[in-house]
Homo-oligomer: A and B are copies of this chain.
Amino acid sequence: MKAKIVITPKKAVLDPQGKTVQTALEHMGYTGVAGVHVGKYIEIDLAPGTDKVAAATALDDAARKFLSNPVIEDYKLEIVD
């Protein structure tokens, strides 16, 4: 079982890394890009037999408290088998 956490900057927050990637793609000659957001991806391998609900609760807590900065970032937690 795995937990996947995706952390992205909020839409209203300046994203210089995303802007850089967008410019790079345009320089590469690829022009169909309307916007780029760069964030973090955290994949957590859960020990076999872990309770899915307990894991979701604990990891949601962790994501809010120290993996993301809720002032400027959004996060999305997903538990997959």
Interface size in chain A (residues, C-beta < 8 A): 35
Complex contact A21–B67 (CB within 8 A): yes
Q: Are B21 and A34 in contact (CB under 8 A)?
A: no
Q: Which residues of B contact A50 (CB under 8 A)?
A: 32
A53 touches B (CB below 8 Å): no
Q: Which residues of B contact A41 (CB under 8 A)?
A: 6-8, 38-41
Given that A38-B42, A41-B38, A45-B35 are known contacts, is A30 also in contact with B6, CB under 8 Å in the complex? no
Q: A41-B7, A46-B34 are in contact. Are A24 and B58 (CB under 8 A)?
A: no
Interface residues of A (CB under 8 A from B): 6-8, 18, 21, 24-25, 28, 30-47, 50, 54-55, 58-59, 61-62, 66-67
